[in-house]
């Protein structure tokens, strides 16, 4: 959806005369608004560095489960009868989401990069749409899965236990919900194309869920001990600890601590496991937690900002387009949310949730639902400017439906400042997650940088620097990266600076 | 201007109502609900007629928690609003507010146990005595008797409730037991009592007791109400229409968790937070404006680029991280140990002189220096993020004015470069900085929550976190009101200052 195409020609390399220019010699082809803005951003070294860092975080967000895991890749052990069996615990314990991300990361992204079908940006858009469909389906399926397994499951879910069709039913419900969302959102142009996305995404989701449906619920990590005793052989991941793997006797140890062998006489040649960045208060490996927390950091920023963007843009569009009493009433709502600092509201909203419901998803939803006011105000002022312009008037005169006027005609022309704000909002969401985790209100089901940071100063006032510095640097660099990209984007779309550049 | 001010002030009212309603609903609709933590403290498990259940029933009665949520909110709003309707509150000689006593709840199912609900037998009414002190004693005596009787009635109702649950289970009445293991009396009442069931005896005993307790409590309530109606004490506020409308100071109530008046707690904590912010804001302006001016004047120089990079790095540095690093490296015993870890004054600071000096030949740092030493790190954490925003705005405003025609004219006339920058450009560039206050101030208020938590400073943030941990609705709502009022007032002041500073801006 290219908005107004401001043709800004890149300066010609060799000298050309005015006549040649008029003949079209030496004129670079005009770029669309967004490609132009994007190439401006890529010209900034700081922004590129920020993008690279975000890329690194995204890489670990996808591949952390195979890089840092307490379950070995291969585990060979003899059972009581003396028969040697080979197992693949790491694969066994992957969740559906892990499988999806690994699949997208290892297959989807290279395909999108290399396939010579159409433009690369379009290929990535397709990938993203299919990924979104699969993601929603998998999230719904995993919620159903936990509902099926819970002790006080509803009779309907209870009946699904142990049935072969259960994963298909769960994913099916997820796909149905995705279809509903996609049919409501104006993401892809035509209905057949949307159906293709839903079909592909649903199939991938189905495969991921079915592969992991019988994942053991109880995780026990006795591999290190068994290998040290010499009763088994294992091939470990480069970082051989999981974030949830706790060595209670090794609480708050400094970086480089070696996992002590539980048996008095360790077998010669047994692998040495080192906590490269130390352990936290529960004796869990810091490095492993840092890597696994990348996923939370990436997703909480993007998803909560996405939710905020949807609410804010809709509210702002309605306020700016209608004006009058709609504006008056809706702006009061905005004002209510702005009356106290967002952090206060967030603390109240998160704290009143029972801890067992404080998952990553609820956190994203809450952060999104309380931080949309800025975007609503930006959109409102843009729409106030646009509503009297000729193209909007003509769109209305033609009799286009409101949705089309607002989101197809006006939004692409007024969304730029909102998107710049969004990149700062992502940074803010990451900071907010860190703050909430520091206050003990973070998500309970995920390793998080903020949680590590919170355990740096113990209740007795002891300070362990590795629990503050490593996650702290990670938070800082990530927030800085988003801010740098945001700054560059803002400069790139700033019309005042554009005049100076041409 | 006056009209504008008035309109803004009036618009603050719906905003305040909206935000408190939002917060109220967030807390009230949360699982566990209001005062959940207080109830949990009382023991956690809800055995039907145990002490805990009775205590919970008493709390529920005291705060009216069984009413619909909207009614509860409106009741709170009525207390907080300066315009009051109905009978006026009275003020005891020790400044405690007292209210007319509430009605005693009728025992449910009473038709099963008595032909008619016994009427209130007030007994001899008490005449108010002569002096205020005597009346206060009288009042306390009456109040104690009344609340004991009321408590008995509530406990009896609660017992009846649990017996009714047992009865309904035995009788197999469908839908008579709610999810919270309480009886739904409307459902039970629609059935005919089955006196052959073993549970009937217990139920009847409890019912008779509840009716008796009701009769006693209702009598005492009438007596107490009659005493109250003679207005033995001064009435609170100013009456407009007697018995209907009056004006009175807002009543923030008493905290659930520690039974202290909420207003007292806020008045202890608010000055600390405001002090922190009042120290931090001038520092932000003093650092950011000169650096912004310099960056604007030397646009594109190494200084400009360097400052921009440093500021965006500072802006991206999370306050939590800065706080933890400060506490860890500068304040903790393991490392530098240069600053205190907690509080805003040393324990014995009250005995210090205000200024530093020598006491008995020994240097004493004095109250002021002690305070500065304590708030040094917190203020540092509060200030540094503000630099970037303010300095960037200053620079942008300077650039805009430096390119203006009047500057070129001034330069052409031969005005010294220094005078152009300071007399022409700077004065015009300072205006937008007032509005920046609008973005800086709420962020700082929020920032002080984290800073107060990290440095254990007894301010509004600490109070709020405490209140939330206890689900103490009175405290949370009062905190919200206070923070919103401080915030909205600051924004209003910024707007008014802007109009005062710039003659081109009018709000009429």
C-alpha–C-alpha distance, residues B176 and B182, integer Å = 8
C-alpha–C-alpha distance, residues A399 and A429, integer Å = 40
C-alpha–C-alpha distance, residues B204 and B200, integer Å = 6
B381 touches chain A (CB under 8 A): no
Q: Do B15 and A332 touch (CB under 8 A)?
A: yes
B77 touches chain A (CB under 8 A): no
In chain B, where the domains are located: 2-247, 262-501
Residues in Cβ contact with A469 at an 8 Å cutoff, skipping those fewer than 6 apart: B325
Rounded mean pLDDT, B141-153: 85
Q: Do B480 and A336 touch (CB under 8 A)?
A: no
CA distances B459 to B270, B343, B464, Å, are 6, 10, 9
Task: Name the least confident of A57-66, B182-191, B223-232, B359-368.
Answer: B359-368
In which residue ranges of chain A is pLDDT below 70?
1-14, 26, 28, 117-118, 185-189, 260-271, 495-502
> For the domain B262-501, what is the CATH superfamily, name and number?
MetI-like (1.10.3720.10)
B31 touches chain A (CB under 8 A): yes
B381 pLDDT above the threshold of 50: yes
Rounded mean pLDDT, B112-141: 76
Report residue B144 as tokens. Answer: 């104690």
Confidence of residue B43 (pLDDT cuts 50, 70, 90): very low
Higher pLDDT, A38 or B359: A38
Q: Do B450 and A435 touch (CB under 8 A)?
A: yes
pLDDT for B314 equals 92
Residue A114: exposed, middle, or buried by beta-carbon count in 10 A (0-12, 13-18, 19+)?
A: exposed
Q: What is the pLDDT of residues A189-241, one digit of tens each?
A: 677 777 787 888 888 888 888 888 777 777 777 787 777 777 788 888 888 88
Conformation bin of residue A401: beta by default, left when phi > 0, alpha when psi is -120 to 50: beta
> Chain A contacts of B480, Cβ < 8 Å?
340, 344, 348
**Nearest CA distance, A65 vs chain B (angstrom):** 27
Element (H, E) at B101: none
C-alpha–C-alpha distance, residues B352 and A211, integer Å = 71
C-alpha–C-alpha distance, residues B234 and B240, integer Å = 16
CB A141 within 8 A of CB A96: yes
Report residue A245 as tokens. Answer: 């793997």
Element (H, E) at B358: strand B357-359
B93 touches chain A (CB under 8 A): no
- What's the pTM? 0.85
Radius of gyration of chain B from its Cα atoms, rounded to whole angstroms: 31
> Chain B contacts of A469, Cβ < 8 Å?
325
Most confident of A112-116, A417-421, B17-21, B67-71: B17-21
CB B373 within 8 A of CB B356: no
**Nearest CA distance, B482 vs chain A (angstrom):** 9
CB B478 within 8 A of CB B266: yes
pLDDT for A261 equals 52
B27 touches chain A (CB under 8 A): yes
> Chain A contacts of B339, Cβ < 8 Å?
none
Rounded mean pLDDT, B358-384: 81
**Nearest CA distance, A214 vs chain B (angstrom):** 32
Residue of A44, A337, A340 to mutate, testing the B interface (most B Cβ within 10 Å of its Cβ)? A340
Nearest CA in chain A to B333: A462
CB A336 within 8 A of CB A416: no
Q: Which of B74, B150, B78 is nearest to B107 (CA)?
A: B150
pLDDT for B508 equals 62
C-alpha–C-alpha distance, residues A376 and A318, integer Å = 9
Q: What is the pLDDT of residues A437-479, one digit of tens each?
A: 988 888 887 888 988 888 888 777 778 888 889 999 999 999 9
Neighbour count for residue B309 (Cβ, 10 Å): 12
Query: ipTM for the complex?
Result: 0.83
pLDDT for B31 equals 67
Q: For B362, list phi and psi in degrees, rounded to 5.
A: -115, 145
Rounded mean pLDDT, B462-486: 86
> Chain B contacts of A431, Cβ < 8 Å?
318, 320
Radius of gyration of chain A from its Cα atoms, rounded to whole angstroms: 26
Q: In this complex, how many residue pairs, one in chain A and one in chain B, have their CB atoms less than 8 Å apart?
A: 137
pLDDT for A264 equals 44
Q: Do A344 and B480 touch (CB under 8 A)?
A: yes
pLDDT for A188 equals 54
C-alpha–C-alpha distance, residues B237 and B85, integer Å = 12
pLDDT for B18 equals 92
Q: Do B321 and A453 touch (CB under 8 A)?
A: yes
Q: What is the pLDDT of residues B254-287, one digit of tens each?
A: 887 777 888 889 999 888 988 888 899 889 989 9
Q: Which of A340, A353, A427 sits opposite B487 (nearest CB)?
A: A340
Nearest CA in chain B to A331: B15
Residue of B11, B318, B459 to mutate, testing the A interface (most A Cβ within 10 Å of its Cβ)? B318
- The rounded mean pLDDT for chain B is 81
pLDDT for B19 equals 92
C-alpha–C-alpha distance, residues B7 and B2, integer Å = 8
pLDDT for A187 equals 55
Residues in Cβ contact with A17 at an 8 Å cutoff, skipping those fewer than 6 apart: none
């Amino acid at each position: 959806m290219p908005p107004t195409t401001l043709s800004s020609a890149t300066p010609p390399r060799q000298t050309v005369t005015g006549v040649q220019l008029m003949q079209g010699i030496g004129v670079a082809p005009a770029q669309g608004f967004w490609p132009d803005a994007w190439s401006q951003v890529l010209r900034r070294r700081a922004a590129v560095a920020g993008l690279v860092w975000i890329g690194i975080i995204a890489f670990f967000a996808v591949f952390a489960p195979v890089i840092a895991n307490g379950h070995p890749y291969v585990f060979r052990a003899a059972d009581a009868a003396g028969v040697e069996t080979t197992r693949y615990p790491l694969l066994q314990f992957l969740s559906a989401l892990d499988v999806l991300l690994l699949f997208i990361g290892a297959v989807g992204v290279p395909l999108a990069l290399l396939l010579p079908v159409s433009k690369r940006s379009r290929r990535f858009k397709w990938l993203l749409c299919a990924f979104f469909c699969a993601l929603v389906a998998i999230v719904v399926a995993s919620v159903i899965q936990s509902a099926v397994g819970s002790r006080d499951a509803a009779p309907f879910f209870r009946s699904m236990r142990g049935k072969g069709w259960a994963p298909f039913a769960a994913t099916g419900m997820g796909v149905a919900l995705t279809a509903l969302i996609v049919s409501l959102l104006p993401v892809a142009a035509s209905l057949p194309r949307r159906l293709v996305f839903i079909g592909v995404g649903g199939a991938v989701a189905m495969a991921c869920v079915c592969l992991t449906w019988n994942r053991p619920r109880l995780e026990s990590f006795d591999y290190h001990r068994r290998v040290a005793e010499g009763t088994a052989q294992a091939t470990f991941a480069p970082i051989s600890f999981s974030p949830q793997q706790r060595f209670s006797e090794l609480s708050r140890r400094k970086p480089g601590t070696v996992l002590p062998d539980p048996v008095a006489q360790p077998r010669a040649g047994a692998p040495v496991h080192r906590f490269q960045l130390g352990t936290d208060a529960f004796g869990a490996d810091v490095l492993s937690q840092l890597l696994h927390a990348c996923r939370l950091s990436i997703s909480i920023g993007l998803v909560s900002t996405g939710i905020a963007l949807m609410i804010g843009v809709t509210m702002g569009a309605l306020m700016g387009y209608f004006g009058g009493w709609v504006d008056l009433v809706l702006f009061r709502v905005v004002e209510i949310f702005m009356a106290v600092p967002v952090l206060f509201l967030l603390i109240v909203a998160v704290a009143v949730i029972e801890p067992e419901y404080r998952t990553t998803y609820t956190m994203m939803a809450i952060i999104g639902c309380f931080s949309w006011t800025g975007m609503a105000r930006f959109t409102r002022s843009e729409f106030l400017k646009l509503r009297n312009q000729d193209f909007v008037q003509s769109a209305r005169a033609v009799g286009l439906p409101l949705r089309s006027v607002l989101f197809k005609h006006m939004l692409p022309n007024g969304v730029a400042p909102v998107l710049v704000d969004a990149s700062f909002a992502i940074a803010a969401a990451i900071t907010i997650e860190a703050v909430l985790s520091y206050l003990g209100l973070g998500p309970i089901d995920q390793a998080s940088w903020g949680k590590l940071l919170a355990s740096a100063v113990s209740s007795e006032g002891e300070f362990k620097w590795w629990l503050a510095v490593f996650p702290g640097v990670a938070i800082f660099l990530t927030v800085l990266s988003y801010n740098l990209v945001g700054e560059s984007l803002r400069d790139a779309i700033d019309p005042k600076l554009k005049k100076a550049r041409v | 201007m006056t009209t504008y001010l008035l309109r803004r002030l009036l618009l603050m009212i719906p905003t305040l109502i909206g935000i408190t309603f939002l917060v109220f609903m967030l807390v009230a609709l949360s699982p566990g609900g209001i005062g959940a933590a207080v109830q949990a403290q009382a023991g956690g498990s809800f055995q039907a007629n145990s002490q805990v259940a009775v205590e919970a029933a008493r709390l529920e009665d005291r705060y009216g928690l069984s009413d619909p949520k909207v009614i509860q909110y409106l009741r709170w709003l009525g207390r907080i609003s300066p315009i009051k309707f109905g009978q006026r509150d009275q003020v005891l000689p020790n400044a405690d507010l007292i209210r007319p006593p509430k009605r005693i709840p009728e025992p449910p199912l009473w038709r099963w146990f008595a032909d008619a609900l016994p009427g209130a037998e007030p007994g001899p009414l008490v005449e108010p005595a002569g002096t205020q002190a005597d009346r206060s004693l009288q009042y306390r005596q009456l109040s104690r008797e009344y609340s004991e009787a009321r408590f008995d009635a509530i406990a009896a109702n609660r017992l009846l409730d649990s017996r009714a649950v047992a009865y309904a289970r035995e009788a197999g009445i469908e839908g008579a037991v709610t999810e919270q293991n309480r009886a739904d009396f409307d459902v039970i009442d629609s059935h005919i009592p089955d006196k052959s069931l073993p549970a009937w005896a217990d139920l009847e005993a409890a019912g008779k007791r509840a009716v008796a307790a009701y009769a006693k409590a209702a009598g005492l309530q009438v007596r107490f109400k009659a005493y109250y109606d003679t207005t033995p004490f001064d009435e609170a506020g100013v009456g407009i229409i007697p018995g209907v409308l009056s004006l009175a100071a807002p009543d923030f109530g008493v905290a659930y968790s520690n039974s202290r008046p909420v207003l007292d707690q806020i008045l202890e904590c608010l000055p600390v937070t405001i002090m922190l912010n009042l120290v931090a804001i001038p520092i932000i302006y003093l650092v950011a404006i000169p650096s912004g001016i310099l960056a604007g004047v030397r646009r594109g120089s190494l200084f400009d680029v360097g400052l921009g990079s440093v500021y965006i790095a500072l802006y991206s540095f999370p306050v939590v991280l800065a706080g933890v690093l400060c506490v860890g490296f500068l304040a903790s015993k393991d490392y530098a140990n240069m600053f205190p870890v907690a509080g805003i004054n040393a324990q014995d600071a009250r005995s210090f002189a205000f200024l530093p000096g020598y006491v008995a030949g020994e240097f004493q740092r004095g109250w002021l220096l002690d305070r500065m030493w304590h708030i040094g790190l917190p203020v540092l954490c509060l200030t540094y993020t503000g630099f970037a925003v303010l300095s960037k705005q200053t620079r942008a405003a300077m650039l805009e004015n430096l390119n203006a025609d009047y500057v070129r004219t001034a330069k052409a006339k031969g005005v010294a470069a220094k005078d152009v920058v300071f007399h022409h450009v700077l004065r015009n560039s300072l205006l937008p900085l007032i509005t920046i206050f609008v973005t800086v101030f709420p962020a700082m208020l929020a920032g002080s929550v984290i800073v107060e938590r990290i440095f254990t400073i007894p301010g509004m943030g600490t109070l709020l976190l405490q209140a939330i941990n206890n689900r103490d609705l009175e405290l949370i709502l009062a905190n919200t009101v206070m923070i919103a009022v401080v915030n909205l007032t600051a924004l209003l002041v910024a707007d008014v200052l802007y109009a005062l500073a710039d003659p081109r801006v009018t709000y009429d």
